[in-house]
Chains A and B, each alone.
Chain A
Amino acid sequence: MSDRDLSHQFETLEQQALASSLGIWVFLATEVLFFGGLFLLYTVYRIKYPAAFMESSKLMDIKLGVINTAILLTSSLTMALAVHSAEEGEKKQATLRWLFLTMFLGIVFLGIKGIEYHHKFVEHLVPGPDFVLESINQQQAQIFFGLYFAMTGLHALHMIIGLGVLSVMGGMTWMGKFTKAYSNPIHVAGLYWHFVDVLWIFLFPLLYLIGNR
């Protein structure tokens, strides 16, 4: 047991590891409920305005959506490998490689998201006074797009926070903080990243795939 890894309030490394695991999972439960409010609104308005929701969903760029989903799933794999590498006490270059790949994929995801946002902006599909949509009931479609931006925007914000966390993990890896005995921080960061992935796993079909094409 090395003392430098053990915070003063804990007795053992096992206790500390359990605390960090429980802490992040409790935090993820709060995150689930944070998005829960959005899922509630989505469910109610989907039931109230089914036609407008299906038609609006068809205006999503399914190609970019699929690409982004694949990117995010891949980033989850690389994240898992980064954590694996750190936990197994492999060379720090290996861990860093997987971390950078994960962050790179995250940035590509955000870039593509940005392109999609730009398209929506050009097409006047951003809620507000400029929102124009003739073919579908305008107000109902605006609610769909309002929820689209709120959900994907908050998801993107979580990705940005995740990228920040991963940068810190990169720094800690570089300084050789992680050993076979101690890898809590990167383990926790990985769980957060996977969670953001799981969120997208639900957002993607709810927003892109509800209308038959």
Chain B
Amino acid sequence: MGNVPFFPVQASTMAPQVDALFAFLMAITAFFSLLIALLIVVLVIRYHHKTDADRQGANNSHLVLELVWTGIPLGIVMVVFVWGADVFYRMKTVPPNALQIYVVGKQWMWKIQHPEGQREINELHVPVGQPIELTMISEDVVHDFAVPAFRMKEDVLPGRYTHQWFEATKVGEYHLFCDQYCGTLHSGMTGRVTVMEPKDFANWLAHWTRPSGVMTSSGAELFQRMACATCHLPSGAGRGPSLTGLYGKTVTLQDGRTITADDTYIRESILKPAAKIVRGISLSCHRFKTSWMSKA
């Protein structure tokens, strides 16, 4: 029974932070559970009806005592709240130098694509010591990309991108689970995250047999092939708005609202061009009725 784990491996920068929080909460839980258990045992023994303990002068209420045992837990949970929120905030704040990797969840597999075009299924190879941002979307139902060794998880939603990031600290292979129930073979929607030394990772990338094209250049190729470029001229003089440098900017819509051109907005505009039309553009792009992107 030597290899039965009691505690998960710490393999990311977040893992020790989550575990520290856990240790603190475990201490509190153990302390109060044992305190209550001990009190019950001691009081039951001492005041068992067969003993002749002194039972005079028992109070029915005690305001100070009530305030104390309202106040102390309140103080403790406020500490826990602030600490937990701080850790969570760090989990949600992606470092600027993070490497982008794209995840598509579908019943019942994980499809992963690296920026240089390498694709994997139910496998994720990453270099150690490098922050990685996962941009995730689902093709069907809600999934959840969870790697316990990294102490991270986030639901993968259909119709909207969600993100999470990690920085692996330990070379090795780790479980990847789908943590949100997603149908018949939910149990089988598992995979493996392989953390490698940077040079091994570079090798792995280079030895990729048939890269399907760097993501940006295949995007550019599609932009030409699907004739997007005929309307969306870089100068803005075309029938469609210029898309140059659009990502991350704020655009004004027809109804006067402003919106940030993020992943979700751009994806929506490709799939459903009429959903949010930029001010000054009269017609909508009828190019794509079907969601070709999800097939890509």
Beta-carbon contact of A140 and B275 below 8 Å: yes
Beta-carbon contact of B272 and A139 below 8 Å: yes
Main secondary structure of the interface of B (DSSP, over half): loop
Beta-carbon contact of A50 and B272 below 8 Å: no
Beta-carbon contact of A137 and B275 below 8 Å: yes
The answer to whether B274 has its CB under 8 Å from any CB of chain A is yes
How far is A13 from B255 in the complex, measured between Cα atoms in Å? 60
Beta-carbon contact of B254 and A51 below 8 Å: yes
Residues of A within 8 A of B275 (CB): 137, 140
How far is A50 from B254 in the complex, measured between Cα atoms in Å? 11
The residue on A at minimum CB distance from B275 is A137
Main secondary structure of the interface of A (DSSP, over half): helix
Question: How far, in Å, is A211 (CB) from chain B's closest CB?
Answer: 12
Chain A residues 101 to 145 lying within 8 A of chain B, measured CB to CB, are 137, 139-140
How far is A139 from B273 in the complex, measured between Cα atoms in Å? 12
Q: How many A-B residue pairs have CB under 8 A?
A: 9
Beta-carbon contact of B272 and A137 below 8 Å: yes
Beta-carbon contact of A50 and B255 below 8 Å: yes
Question: How far, in Å, is B278 (CB) from chain A's closest CB?
Answer: 13
Q: Mark B266-283, 1 if CB is under 8 A from A, else 0.
A: 000000101100000000
Residues of A within 8 A of B274 (CB): 137
Chain B residues 67 to 115 lying within 8 A of chain A, measured CB to CB, are none
Question: How far, in Å, is B261 (CB) from chain A's closest CB?
Answer: 17
How far is A140 from B272 in the complex, measured between Cα atoms in Å? 11
Question: How far, in Å, is B271 (CB) from chain A's closest CB?
Answer: 11
How far is A115 from B15 in the complex, measured between Cα atoms in Å? 63
Question: How far, in Å, is A52 (CB) from chain B's closest CB?
Answer: 9
Residues of B within 8 A of A137 (CB): 272, 274-275
Residues of A within 8 A of B254 (CB): 51
How far is A137 from B255 in the complex, measured between Cα atoms in Å? 14
Residues of B within 8 A of A51 (CB): 254-255
How far is A137 from B257 in the complex, measured between Cα atoms in Å? 17
Q: Nearest 5 CB-CB pairs, A to B?
A: A51-B255, A137-B274, A137-B275, A50-B255, A51-B254
With A50-B255, A137-B275, A140-B275 known, 6 other A-B pairs at CB within 8 A are A50-B257, A51-B254, A51-B255, A137-B272, A137-B274, A139-B272
9 A–B contact pairs at CB < 8 A? A50-B255, A50-B257, A51-B254, A51-B255, A137-B272, A137-B274, A137-B275, A139-B272, A140-B275
